[in-house]
Amino acid sequence: MKRESRQTTGGQAWVVNRKKEDKKMEPKWLTERRQKAAEDFKTLPLPKTDEFWRRTNLSRIPFDQFEPIQSVTNGAAKGSASRYLPVPMMVSGELLYGEKMSPATLDPNSQKAGVILDGLQNALEKYPELVLKYFGKGFQNRHEKFLAQNEAFWQTGVFCYIPKNTQVELPILLASHFSGGNQSAAPRLLIVLDKGAKTTIVHYASSETENDSIFLNNVVEIYIEEEAHLTYIDSQALSDQTFEIAQKRIELETNAKLKWVLDIQGSKLSKTNIETVLKGSGAAAEVLGLLCGNKKQHLELYAWTQHAAPHTTADILIKGTANDAAKTIFQGMIRIEKAAQGTESYMANNNLVLSEKAHADSIPRLEIEADDVRASHGATIGQVDAEQLFYLETRGLNREEAEHLIVEGFYEDIFGRIPVESVREVMRKNIEKKVGVIA
């Protein structure tokens, strides 16, 4: 009986572990926030029946098996982040976090402009006012199990700030890495683009496991101030024994622009909830997502898009492929508030099921309160066409190569909208590993 009650807590060890951490130096307000969130975490049940959680069976995650990591502020050398990328990338700065943290590197121009790239703990000490202004701003009063868990116990994270009217030419690379050992972690990311700032941020999450596993509770919050433009590449290549729950929120102020590329390929089970909030008029978001599952992977993406101001636009395209016995699930919700007149919002989800045991689900929804809007959603689930395969095979490709080519073609409209060549290569490389390989 005891075991069962622990199961529903989502990992008792977190609470125990935190007690030691509390003795460390941290601003008082933070300790208080952590304690409040810890109370939430302890009392809230696992979100089993909730419409947006019920398609992912959380009891598959052996919460009590994991040992939460301690606070991480060092351990890796400068320049370690790029080592985890499967292809080289030209960057203007980089930082590794996760079970180890590297010092940040930044090119002289960005430094001069006042760009901040640092571990979240360091940033709290060095720039308390700036961090406090944004930290948790979008997640207030949510009282959700996993948000509370992260808020209470986060041990590793990054703060990135692009000052007003600053343009960072090359991408900033943030990489997170964990290696096995049945560890669990709650990484936290806070990114702020101040008014008129422009940049591309590439996030690459990886992990390694053999006979052990990992649990990650990721929370990301990004604030794009007026007229600022962000391209956010969010690529996930976690090992197939990693469990991931992620809550990611991006808020856009007036005339802010976002291109968000989600590349979800790794993990044994991943439940990612993304929130795109168009808060200021004229804000525009393009969300491109790729869910590529094989073996027994369970990948769920829930994309929530909120139009809260007039003349905002959202263009969401999510594509999934499920191979072997994998399952991909897309849930989408476009919510257009009464104030959001003159809004345009499009959501499309296309899926390709590559084997008989694989499965894809698609549940797009619209909620419209305003009357002057243009909105649509559509979903397709298809199979690789036997005619297509035969046609390609008659030209000399074997079954695997033909399938891979069809999958590449299927994702091509997403690739065509990704502005960084090396990012496309990273994604292609990872897809290759899962759906056959071409020369």
Partner 1 sequence: MPSLLKLDNLHIKVEGNEIIKGLDLEIAEGEVHAIMGPNGSGKSTLAYTLMGRPGYEVTQGKIIFKGEDITEMEPEKRAQKGLFLSFQYPVAVPGVTVASFLMTVLQSLSKTGNGRFAELRKNFRKNFKENMTQLKVDPSFATRYLNDGFSGGEKKRIEILQMMTLQPQLAILDETDSGLDIDALKIVSEGVSRYINPERGVLCITHYQRILNHLKPDFVHILTQGKIIASGGPELALQLESEGYKAFGIVEETRGTI
Q: Which residues bind partner 1 (CB under 8 A)?
A: 385-388, 390-398, 401, 405-406, 408-413, 438-439
| Inter-residue contact 86 to 424 (CB < 8 Å) | no
**Cβ 361 to partner 1 shortest distance, Å:** 23
Burial class (CB in 10 A: 0-12, 13-18, 19+), 251: buried
**Cβ 411 to partner 1 shortest distance, Å:** 7
Which is nearer to partner 1, 22 or 393 (by Cβ)?
393
**Cβ 408 to partner 1 shortest distance, Å:** 7
**Cβ 416 to partner 1 shortest distance, Å:** 9
**Nearest alpha carbon to residue 195 among 279, 143, 240, 255:** 255
**Cβ 383 to partner 1 shortest distance, Å:** 14
Which is nearer to partner 1, 1 or 439 (by Cβ)?
439
**Cβ 389 to partner 1 shortest distance, Å:** 9
Which is nearer to partner 1, 165 or 398 (by Cβ)?
398
**Nearest alpha carbon to residue 10 among 47, 36, 53:** 47
Which is nearer to partner 1, 21 or 408 (by Cβ)?
408
- The residues pairing with 265 across neighbouring beta strands, listed in sequence order, are none
CA dihedral of 251, 253, 259, 262, whole degrees rounded to 10: 0
> Rounded to the nearest 5 degrees, what angle is found at the Cα of 404, between the Cα atoms of 398 and 409?
125
Which is nearer to partner 1, 74 or 398 (by Cβ)?
398
Which is nearer to partner 1, 141 or 394 (by Cβ)?
394
DSSP state letters, 23-90: TS---HHHHHHHHHHHHHHHHSPP--SSTTTTTS-GGGS-GGG-EEPPP---BS-TT-GGGGSSS---
Which is nearer to partner 1, 27 or 409 (by Cβ)?
409
- The residues pairing with 155 across neighbouring beta strands, listed in sequence order, are none
**Cβ 412 to partner 1 shortest distance, Å:** 3
Please state, in angstroms and rounded to a whole number, the distance separating the CA atoms of residues 91 and 80: 13
Which is nearer to partner 1, 29 or 391 (by Cβ)?
391
Which is nearer to partner 1, 202 or 431 (by Cβ)?
431
Task: Specify the DSSP class assigned to residue 280.
Answer: S
Length of the chain in terms of residues written: 439
Which is nearer to partner 1, 16 or 437 (by Cβ)?
437
Which is nearer to partner 1, 324 or 408 (by Cβ)?
408
Residues 6+ apart with CB under 8 A from 201: 160, 171, 172, 173, 174, 191, 230, 231, 232, 233
| Inter-residue contact 320 to 431 (CB < 8 Å) | no
Please state, in angstroms and rounded to a whole number, the distance separating the CA atoms of residues 136 and 326: 34
**Cβ 285 to partner 1 shortest distance, Å:** 24
**Cβ 395 to partner 1 shortest distance, Å:** 5
**Cβ 403 to partner 1 shortest distance, Å:** 12
According to DSSP, the β-strands at 116-119 and 156-162 are antiparallel
Q: How far is CA 133 from CA 120, 128, 161, 278, in A?
A: 14, 8, 12, 19
Residues 6+ apart with CB under 8 A from 124: 26, 27, 30, 131, 159
Q: At what angle do helices 399-415 and 386-393 cross, to 10 degrees?
A: 110
**Cβ 261 to partner 1 shortest distance, Å:** 17
